[in-house]
Chain A
Amino acid sequence: MAIIADVEYKTIESVYGPLVVVKKVSGAAYNEIVNIVMHDGSERLGQVLETASDYAIVQVFGPTAGIDVDKTSVRLTGETFRMGVSEGMLGRVFDGQGRPRDGGAEVIFDEKRDINGEPLNPVSRALPSDFIETGISSIDGLITLVKGQKLPLFSGSGLPHNELTAQIVRQARTRGSESNFAVVFAGIGITHDDADFFTDQFRSTGALSRTAAFINMADDPSIERILTPRIALTTAEFLAYGKGMDVLVILNDMTNYAEALRELSSAREEVPGRRGYPGYMYTDLSGIYERAGIIKGKRGSITQLDVVTMPGDDITHPIPDLTGYITEGQIFLSRELHNKGVYPPVNPTGSLSRLMNMGIGPGKTREDHRGVADQLYGAYAKAQEAGSLSSIVGEEALSEDDRRYLKFGSEFEKRFLSQDHGERRTIEETLSIGWDLLSSLPQRELTRIKPEYVKKYYKGE
């Protein structure tokens, strides 16, 4: 089979953007991987995007500089994109196509896997229900992360999403058991500074030995970004379902991925959807985000933390918007809180964890967790209402309740939301701070918590 497929075509008709059109090709399979052989013998990777009786359109995962129409040839491989995987990838740093970038030895692979993965049968999914303690009050208390969940960080340029991500990687643990934990980090179009920040972080905390990092730099070919998250997730799937590890996957930054997708789409002259992004972006992003999860009857899990920087802090921009429709909630970083000096600047109002209810409650966190979280949400929303009211009519004109809420709001930001970069709070500590704050409100206001828990934990008069 391989011999038949190993045909070289010198029939490139045109090159534009990241695309190459090859004529007189028949038998190129859809999504097949091709090698583009330059006249000096070097090779570049490509993939068939469209194929017909007499032509094929190929996207090139590298620079198209130097490709010409007479000397360059295209070789079909007869295979879809498969990559080698092994446990030996932990502790290593790779480029965006999965080639070692740390100067270390070649990795010896256990097996090869298709980087696109296959859709997981919904009936094979086990419901995520294990609480992950990140040690960060705003996340653990209000937007609880659960093993097997995909939760993006909606951030903006200049906000400390890198610091927060690094802190989560350092601190995250599941309770009760020392599990077999690994991190797969995909840097997608990140700057050299950011790449250094993360590798230093991993190295200094000893996390590197259980981390596999794939880094596509901001100045690497943008089309390579289409591959990077898929390569990272394929590695993660091997570690999770093949080796039984609990894998935390960090995709940073998915906005750069979406930009690459748009670049490719416009090169193909496709009918654009919103703001020039292709109409199939939802489906494409799902193919990445939905690879988080747990499989029934298997050890191991994939939890995703995806960084999305919102262009212009706009949550309705297609990238965060479509992401939010696929992921199981979002952690929303707010510039306003950041400017007030709150770290981490997680704004609970825009944040949500859809799987929270599965991971909290008696036996997992504590019986009053749900109620406390709801009440804190409600109270903080009221505090903000009171805040905007007081900026118009002045604090003196507020009712006594409104004044209490106003005070609650600032205490909440200072004591609950804020914490140090190195501070790890247990869930009990987090809930206890929550009760301290709620106890400054009259007991009658606590309508979202079951009366029995109010009785048990309320500290006010």
Chain B
Amino acid sequence: MGIITRISGPLVVADGMAGSKMYEVVKVGTRGLIGEIIQLRGSKAMIQVYEDTTGLKPNEKVANTGELLSVELAPGILGNIFDGLERPLEEIKRRCGDFVEKGIDIPSIDKGKKWKFVPTAKKGATLSEGDIIGYVQETPLIKHQIMVPYGVKGKLESIKGGSFKVEETIAVVRSGGGERKLSMLQRRPVRVAGRYSKRFKSDELLVTGQRVVDTFFPIAKGGTTGIPGPFGSGKTVILHSIAKYADSDVVVYVGCGERGNEMAEVLNEFPELKDPKSGRPLMERTILVANTSNMPVAAREASIYTGITVAEYFRDMGYDVSIMADSTSRWAEAMREMSARLEEMPGEEGYPAYLQKRLAEFYERSGRFEALGGGKGSISIIGAVSPPGGDISEPVSQGTLRVVKVFWALDASLAGARHFPSINWLSSYSLYKEGLARWYDKNGGPGFRDNVSKAMEILQREAELKDIVQLVGPDALPDSERAILEAGKIIREDFLRQSAFDEVDAFATIEKQYLMLGAIIKFAVQAQHAVSKGVPSSKLQEMKARQDISRMKFTENGKIAAEAQRIGSEMEREFESLIKGEE
């Protein structure tokens, strides 16, 4: 128990705190605001307070809890929306109305609700941490596996199925040290990375249904992506699209210091939207962590850790989990704000010198793993970065790019022309392409990778030719080069561009992506041939095939094969007759 000696915004200094530990949670003041110790100096503790400190006075008390900042994990977590400290926002609303009050103590998980537990472990089995002892069918989509918590091992003395509250005993484990009762609830500290037995290579595609991503700049399951972009470049729309359509089992969406209306949008849309695989509402596989920009800044710093710890928990059950963090810049800024108040020596642009370390620690919690319990799961991290002025030479963007393997360069000029997703095809990259080669060969279709390289070559050539056109005008180009310009335009407008708001276009299966690109490349090749036979390039844009291709994006995934077939053969005939006309 200590006494407050100084208050400056979210930073509180307390004296008489001997015996406290780093990152311990404390209750600050008479209202019991939640805080975390972030520095210890003798008997003095620096505390970052996760709630608004208005009205707090010196000499009020600070109480230790003895616990590190942790999250509660149990059935009931899916489909929920939490604040940065894992407090359920629906429940907060029920208790204190539309505005978030301070000092509310609400359990993360509903302790009163009963769940049907089905045991799978046998009595007498030898168990260790992470082993699965049974499950709860939490939603039709997700079997919530109940695991032995960290630090527990021994022989399973008893286990019972049936309907239980999350804190009730469902099993007893005996070891040399005595017996330990297990319930469906466990707690994990958020700042410590979860344990696992093995890491694997990332060689499976995370299908997102976004053509520019899956075909050109893919992310593997267990991979990391950074998306730096100025405001208005469509970061949030991309993250939403991926949260909706990615073929992950569980999605954790962290709204870190972003807009309240955006979270309202997610809350409004996701229950209505169906998972493309199962047809079930998306909320059944989604967990939202929302600390909007007007909520206390320190809890924003915690929200990223809360999110990744929840993701690890589901990974341990053997699920593929995606986590979207929008935006990691707000997280870094929260760090900077606390660092400044602690009067630490600032690094670049005022950020603390440990920024890079923290970024790396976060992204390194991704990967494909063999969990302690034997299941195989993965965590893919997609982090948005909001560089000031859109200039990615700043510390958060640079720190992120040093650790992530995929870079989607969002381009303000593309966004200005309403080319979405505004991922620049010339400056983005994905380091997973090589590792995914076998996946594409198996699942993409013959020549998939080949078509991708051809398309990239066309886009590259197009950019060069456009520079020339800027100087001398299009008339100076030979027809063969004008045909390349036309092909580039088709790739950009009819393949790379994709509407997140059109029901059909929003999600393209790998098959659809393959067939669309195939048709475009076929057009490009035949156009070159036709031009070499004397067909003027101006005829190309008038072709029916040209319009057929641009309509492909509005063709439903299920009907695309037949449509592609038709377009392909009609295109051949059209080119033949063009060439004949010239002879």
Contacts and interface: CB of A to CB of B under 8 A. Distances in A.
Interface of A: 26-32, 49-53, 80, 116-128, 148-149, 270-274, 279-280, 282-283, 286-287, 290-291, 293, 295-296, 298, 315-318, 321-322, 324-326, 328-330, 349-350, 352, 355, 357-358, 370, 374, 377-378, 381-382, 388-389, 392-394, 397-399, 401-402, 444, 447-448, 450-451
A324 B236 CA distance: 13
A3 to B, nearest CB: 16
Nearest to B295: A119
A148 B265 CA distance: 13
30 contacts: A26-B59, A28-B57, A29-B57, A30-B7, A30-B9, A30-B54, A30-B55, A31-B54, A50-B8, A51-B57, A52-B13, A53-B5, A117-B99, A124-B98, A127-B265, A270-B340, A273-B336, A279-B333, A282-B293, A283-B293, A283-B337, A286-B294, A291-B294, A316-B391, A349-B417, A377-B418, A381-B417, A382-B417, A388-B470, A399-B538
B6 A51 contact: yes
A271 B264 contact: no
B308 to A, nearest CB: 20
A69 B174 CA distance: 71
Interface of B: 5-9, 13, 53-59, 81, 89-90, 92-93, 97-101, 230-232, 255, 257, 259-261, 263-265, 267-268, 290, 292-297, 330, 333, 336-337, 340, 346, 349-350, 386, 388-391, 415-419, 469-475, 493-494, 501, 538, 541-542, 546-547, 550-551, 554
Contacts of A357: 501
A332 to B, nearest CB: 10
- 5 A-B pairs with the lowest CB-CB distances in the bound complex, closest first: A316-B389, A286-B293, A393-B473, A381-B417, A397-B473
Given A324-B231, A329-B232, A349-B416, A121 B294 contact: no
A374 B294 CA distance: 32
A398 B474 contact: yes
Given A124-B99, A325-B386, 9 more contacts: A80-B54, A122-B263, A273-B349, A290-B259, A352-B232, A374-B418, A378-B418, A399-B474, A444-B542
Given A273-B350, A328-B259, A290 B293 contact: yes
Given A50-B8, A274-B349, A450-B554, A128 B261 contact: yes
Given A280-B297, A316-B388, A123 B261 contact: no
A290 B232 contact: no
Contact of A51 (B58, B418, B475, B550): B58
A80 B550 CA distance: 61
Contact of B551 (A128, A324, A451): A451
A317 B390 CA distance: 11
B417 A279 contact: no
A128 B265 CA distance: 9
A228 to B, nearest CB: 18
Given A31-B55, A282-B257, A321-B388, A121 B337 contact: no
Nearest to B547: A444
A316 B98 contact: no
Interface centre among B57, B261, B474 (most CB of A within 10 A): B261
A120 B54 contact: no
Nearest to B544: A444
Contact of A118 (B55, B100, B346, B554): B100
Contacts of B293: 282-283, 286, 290, 326
B509 to A, nearest CB: 21
Contacts of A321: 231, 388-389
Contacts of B294: 119-120, 286-287, 290-291
Contact of A316 (B337, B390, B550): B390
Contact of B416 (A128, A322, A370, A381): A381
Contacts of B475: 397, 399
Contacts of A116: 54
A50 B337 contact: no
Contact of A53 (B6, B346, B470, B546): B6
A52 B7 CA distance: 6
Nearest to A146: B261
B337 to A, nearest CB: 5
A279 B337 contact: yes
A389 B471 CA distance: 8
Contacts of A382: 417
Contacts of A119: 99-100, 292, 294-296
A295 B232 CA distance: 25
B261 A293 contact: yes
B388 A447 contact: no
B55 A29 contact: yes
Given A125-B260, A279-B340, A52 B330 contact: no
A399 B294 CA distance: 52
A123 B89 contact: yes
Nearest to B263: A122
A290 B259 CA distance: 7
A72 to B, nearest CB: 23
A121 B100 contact: yes
B231 A398 contact: no
Contact of B471 (A123, A324, A392): A392
B92 A50 contact: no
B61 to A, nearest CB: 14
Give the most central of B231, B293, B297, B541: most A CB within 10 Å.
Answer: B231
Contacts of B268: 127
Contacts of B416: 349-350, 381
Of B230, B260, B550, most A-chain CB atoms within 10 Å: B260
A398 B58 CA distance: 74
A80 B55 contact: yes
B330 A126 contact: no
A398 B267 contact: no
Nearest to B412: A350
Contacts of B340: 270-271, 279
Contact of A127 (B13, B261, B350): B261
B52 to A, nearest CB: 8
Nearest to B269: A127
Contacts of A273: 336, 349-350
A151 to B, nearest CB: 12
Contacts of B93: 121, 123-124
Contacts of A378: 417-419
Contacts of A328: 259, 261
A392 B469 CA distance: 10
A313 to B, nearest CB: 14
Contacts of B386: 325
A272 B389 contact: no
A399 B477 CA distance: 12
Contacts of B350: 271-273, 279
Specify which of A28, A148, A317, A447 lies most central, judged by the most chain B CB atoms within 10 Å of its CB.
A447
B333 A282 contact: yes
Nearest to A117: B99
A399 B5 CA distance: 74
Given A280-B297, A282-B257, A123 B54 contact: no
Contacts of A450: 554
Nearest to B334: A283
Contacts of B13: 52
A293 B263 CA distance: 12
Given A271-B350, A272-B350, A121 B89 contact: yes
B81 A122 contact: yes
Contacts of A324: 230-232
Contacts of B90: 123
A120 B264 CA distance: 11
A125 B263 contact: yes
Nearest to A288: B294
A377 B261 contact: no
A382 B492 CA distance: 14
Nearest to A401: B541
Contacts of A451: 551, 554
B72 to A, nearest CB: 19
A118 B101 contact: yes
B53 A30 contact: yes
